Amino acid sequence: MKFTHFSKFLAAFGVLGFFIFVSAQGQNKPGENEPAPEKPEISQGDWASLFDGKTLEGWDGDPALWRVEEGCITGETTADKPLEYNSFLQWADGQLDDFELKLDFRIQGGNSGVQVRSFALGKPHSIGGYQADIDFSNAWSGSWYGEQYRGILAKRGQKTTIGEDGKPTETGGTGSPETLAQNIKAGDWNEMLITARGTKLSLSVNGILMSEIVDEDTDSRRRQGLLALQLHKGPPMKVQFRTIVVKRLPLGGNVKKIVFIAGPPSHPPRQHEHNAGTELAARLLNENHPDKVLATVYHNRWPSDPSAFQNADAVIIHGDGGSRQPAYWHRQQVQTLADRGVGIGCIHYAVEMLPGESNDSLISWIGGAFEINQSVNPHWEATFTSLPDHPVTRGVQPFKINDEWYFNMRFEPGMKGVTPILSAIPGPETMTRPDGEHSGNPGVRKMVADQVPQHLCWVKERDNGGRGFGFTGCHFHDNWANDSFRKTLLNAICWVAKVDIPSGGIDSPTLTHSDLDANLDPKPAPKPKVPAKALNP
């Protein structure tokens, strides 16, 4: 099985390995450590394969139970090692929201199922949620079951609506359960199709609709979650799956899909917390504005999920810059997204690629970029006293905050399509470092001396109707706690996705320490400073 979390890497490699990793990243030059050639863009409407037919790459489960046999994902239990609880093989490269999923299955003994939009439980390889049932005896195949999640939801032959009490009520039918069972080949290969659109989930086998649910339980229903395959405890059994393909569907109604891409760790604790910052933004949007937004996060790298952007309305990148910017080696893919009008947003160091073609592309997507030997990145307290009339500033009050605010950015010529959102005048304390690629030059020193306002956040409207934004702050993770700082970011994220921004902006609750501490990267703690007295006894 592949490692799916950076934390596993740290656990295996240790603190020393972390610093070696960070050092190597910092020394990376253009052309070095270039990844494999970019995969072709999976277009809207295409089926994307989730199984290579040879390995379990992209899947996570107990290797004692799951293997690839004759080109099939194979799960098997034996009498000498019975399961204590149901065990699952999880697709580890992403989560599913609105989609069509096709796969072939064959089962020999026992029962199994396909979990969609599901969630991890406390035990290893244990998953709960919506399950499309499979069993060798054909008693339950074609039914919807809630694994650790409300029980039977719809039997084969039923259409049900799940009410606010979490209980299903039969509202129609798909046919006689006995007749439908005759279309399922016991012990042989069958094709399953699962379709999820909004709150409706449908299950077909061999081209025949078996059951359907509409989930109106607003407290418990799920709009996105895990895909997993089940091995059931009990008598020995064997289940196989092949040809697993997915096609994401545009979200219905006014809900927009926002895809967050977080880069890997690179700085000390509470700085460049790409994973924690994107998880926080996604949670705030999903919990407080589910009628407007469905947000999902890909951690530590560019997505391996071939369907990641199929139904995206916006892609938001929070990571390092230069050739380590998550999109740097995937510019063709991002250009395809921009060409079809998908919003693009970049936070903090992600507003920088490299001078030349890559920065030109970045500017065409978001309107501006950090240009080495021109732009600078000092830590300073920016004061925002005047805000433009724009949807991104709705509900934002004047504020000041210390951050690593980049400025003297390179923008579109003539600021074509670009609107400054946050502008401030940097003080002389921003010019204390010597000249360097990121720290100073005669041009920027004159601008500071002349007190020329600098644009630290901006938005762009592209000619094709697509939108972009750049936000140079967010070096310090705890700045998310500032209400106006946070609202500016959430407004910008939603604006590029073409969400209607209300007059008061995109609201979110004031954050707690627990909110800020959630999902922090497992970085080494800074060494305590040794008192001078201890150094000179």
Percent of the chain scoring above 70 in pLDDT: 89
Q: Is 18 within 8 Å of 10 (Cβ atoms)?
A: yes
Above 80 in pLDDT, residue 514? yes
Q: How far is CA 300 from the centre of its chain?
A: 10
- pLDDT score recorded for residue 252: 80
What band does 40 get if pLDDT is binned at 50, 70 and 90? low
Give residue-wise pLDDT tens across range 465-489. Answer: 999 999 999 999 999 999 999 999 9
- pLDDT score recorded for residue 338: 97
- pLDDT score recorded for residue 39: 55
Give residue-wise pLDDT tens across range 382-435. Answer: 999 999 999 999 999 999 999 999 999 999 999 999 999 999 999 999 999 999
For residues 315 and 338, what is the distance between their CA atoms, to the nearest angstrom?
Answer: 10
What letter does residue 401 receive in the DSSP assignment? E
251-517 has CATH 3.40.50.880 classification: yes
Above 90 in pLDDT, residue 20? no
What band does 41 get if pLDDT is binned at 50, 70 and 90? low
For residues 369 and 372, what is the distance between their CA atoms, to the nearest angstrom?
Answer: 10
- pLDDT score recorded for residue 494: 98
**Furthest-apart CA atoms within the chain: distance in Å:** 89
For residue 64, what are the CA distances in angstroms to 74, 81, 89, 109, 407? 11, 10, 11, 18, 54
- pLDDT score recorded for residue 44: 62
CB neighbourhood size of 62 (10 A) = 15
For residues 480 and 502, what is the distance between their CA atoms, to the nearest angstrom?
Answer: 21
Tokens of 429: 């304390």
Q: Is 274 left (phi over 0), alpha (psi -120 to 50) or beta?
A: alpha
Among positive and negative, which fits the CA dihedral 18, 21, 25, 27?
positive
Q: Is 336 left (phi over 0), alpha (psi -120 to 50) or beta?
A: alpha
Above 80 in pLDDT, residue 241? yes
For residues 246 and 462, what is the distance between their CA atoms, to the nearest angstrom?
Answer: 31
For residues 216 and 256, what is the distance between their CA atoms, to the nearest angstrom?
Answer: 20
- pLDDT score recorded for residue 523: 82
Q: Is 226 within 8 Å of 90 (Cβ atoms)?
A: yes
- pLDDT score recorded for residue 524: 74
Q: Is 240 within 8 Å of 106 (Cβ atoms)?
A: yes
The type of residue at 63 is P
- pLDDT score recorded for residue 27: 36
Three-state SS annotation for 90-154? EECCCCECCEEEEEEEEEECCEEEEEEEEEECCCCCCEEEEEEEEECCCCCCCCEEEECCCEEEE
Mean per-residue pLDDT, 137-141? 93
Strands (E), 357-448: 368-369, 380-384, 399-403, 410-411, 418-424
For residues 392 and 501, what is the distance between their CA atoms, to the nearest angstrom?
Answer: 8
What band does 35 get if pLDDT is binned at 50, 70 and 90? low
Above 60 in pLDDT, residue 289? yes
| Burial label, 449 (beta-carbon count in 10 A; 0-12, 13-18, 19+) | exposed
For residues 138 and 119, what is the distance between their CA atoms, to the nearest angstrom?
Answer: 26
What band does 251 get if pLDDT is binned at 50, 70 and 90? very high
Between residues 39 and 274, which one has the greater pLDDT? Answer: 274
- pLDDT score recorded for residue 43: 64
The type of residue at 476 is F
Residues of the chain with CATH 3.40.50.880: 251-517
Above 80 in pLDDT, residue 526? no
Above 50 in pLDDT, residue 254? yes
Average pLDDT value over all residues in the chain: 90
Tokens of 103: 């796969």
In the three-class reduction of DSSP (H, G, I as helix; E, B as strand; rest coil), residue 45 is classed as coil
- pLDDT score recorded for residue 2: 38
Nearest alpha carbon to residue 512 among 297, 284, 288, 347: 284
For residues 288 and 285, what is the distance between their CA atoms, to the nearest angstrom?
Answer: 5
For residues 60 and 126, what is the distance between their CA atoms, to the nearest angstrom?
Answer: 11
What letter does residue 305 receive in the DSSP assignment? -
CB neighbourhood size of 433 (10 A) = 12
Give residue-wise pLDDT tens across range 89-129. Answer: 999 999 999 999 999 999 999 999 999 999 999 999 999 99
Q: Which CATH architecture has domain 48-248?
A: Sandwich (2.60)
Between residues 438 and 34, which one has the greater pLDDT? Answer: 438
Give residue-wise pLDDT tens across range 143-155. Answer: 999 999 999 999 9
Q: Is 137 left (phi over 0), alpha (psi -120 to 50) or beta?
A: alpha
H/E stretch holding 339 reads helix 331-339
Above 50 in pLDDT, residue 536? no
For residues 495 and 501, what is the distance between their CA atoms, to the nearest angstrom?
Answer: 7
Q: Is 410 within 8 Å of 371 (Cβ atoms)?
A: yes
Tokens of 207: 């081209």
Residues of the chain with CATH 2.60.120.560: 48-248
Strands 208-215 and 99-108: unpaired
B/e letters for 231-257, b = 16+ CB within 10 Å, e = fewer, are bbeeeebbbbbbbbbbbbbebeeebbb
What does the angle CA 224 – CA 513 – CA 284 come to, to the nearest 5 degrees?
30
- pLDDT score recorded for residue 103: 97
